[in-house]
């Protein structure tokens, strides 16, 4: 870029000329944009959370994607401002805008792929720990011979997608659900892979199997599953022990 001179209150202010000045300028611009991205990334992270799929919870969501998107858009806006000050062509300004949007879209795509890889360990890896929660107050480790049986039950769960069935599940959760005690649960923790660990934390209550995923804004995100024998399996552990 050629020299940029910004005048304030009739006096000569900032001058940027030469390769060294531009390197320093873009270094600090990138740092400031990244810091500002951390302040402004909450709505972007909430938007990304709504795109992560039914198996990923807020505790498993990879970080810094929202901040990176905001920082990239801020740098694109800064570049547009510099092009305006230098009276560059409309073609150049449109090119920067298109490149900024395309790069943001690419980061969103990378985020989606990363989330898919994080969840994939449920079907490709053995968990490093498996724990049962029975009747709320009881916590028991899984016997070695039953680990594979429980893992297959968790892997074969079917997500409820029928609108009416899902509405009934949410109505139950808002009414009879959310008890602090008397619930069963399954906690599977997998080793870190693809830069993040994965935890499947299922709750089982009143014949419902669900995964609390967090909030998107003020909206609850809960995945409900059809029973595939998991409820009976847990009931059997209560009677016979582990």
Angle between helices 230-240 and 147-155 (to 10 degrees): 150
Model pLDDT for residues 180-218, shown as the tens digit of each residue: 556 889 999 999 999 899 999 999 998 999 999 988 878
pLDDT at 134: 86
Higher per-residue confidence, 145 vs 16: 145
> Would you list the DSSP string of 142-205?
PPGGGHHHHHHHHHT-EE---HHHHHHHHHHHHHT---SSS-EEEEEEEEEETTEEEEEEEEEE
Torsion sign across C-alpha atoms 25, 31, 36, 40: positive
Identify the CA nearest to 187 among candidates 139, 119, 120.
Answer: 139
Average pLDDT, stretch 122-140? 84
Model pLDDT for residues 154-178, shown as the tens digit of each residue: 999 999 999 999 999 999 998 876 6
Examine the pLDDT at 7 and tell me if it is beyond 60: no
pLDDT at 241: 52
Tokens describing residue 201: 């934390």
pLDDT at 10: 43
pTM of the model: 0.82
Model pLDDT for residues 8-67, shown as the tens digit of each residue: 434 444 566 677 878 888 889 999 998 998 898 888 988 898 888 899 998 888 989 999
pLDDT at 67: 94
């Amino acid at each position: 870029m050629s020299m940029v001179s910004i005048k304030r209150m009739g006096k000569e202010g900032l001058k940027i000329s030469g390769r060294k000045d531009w390197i320093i300028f873009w270094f600090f611009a990138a740092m400031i944009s990244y810091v500002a991205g951390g302040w402004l990334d909450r709505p972007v992270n909430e938007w990304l959370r709504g795109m992560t799929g039914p198996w990923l919870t807020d505790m498993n969501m990879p970080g810094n994607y929202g901040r990176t998107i905001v920082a990239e858009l801020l740098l694109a806006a800064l570049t547009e401002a510099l092009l305006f000050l230098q009276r560059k062509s409309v073609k150049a300004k449109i090119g920067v805008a298109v490149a900024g949007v395309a790069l943001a879209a690419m980061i969103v795509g990378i985020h989606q792929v990363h989330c898919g890889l994080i969840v994939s360990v449920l079907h490709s890896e053995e968990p490093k720990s498996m724990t049962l929660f029975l009747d709320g107050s009881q916590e028991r480790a899984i016997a070695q011979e039953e680990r594979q049986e429980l893992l297959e039950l968790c892997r074969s769960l079917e997500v409820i997608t029928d609108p009416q069935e899902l509405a009934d599940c949410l109505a139950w959760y808002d009414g009879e659900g959310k008890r602090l005690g008397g619930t069963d649960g399954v906690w599977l923790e997998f080793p870190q892979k693809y830069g993040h660990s994965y935890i499947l934390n299922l709750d089982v209550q009143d014949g419902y199997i669900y995964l609390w995923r967090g909030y998107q804004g003020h909206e609850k995100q809960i995945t409900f599953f059809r029973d595939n024998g998991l409820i009976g399996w847990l009931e059997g552990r209560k009677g016979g022990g582990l």
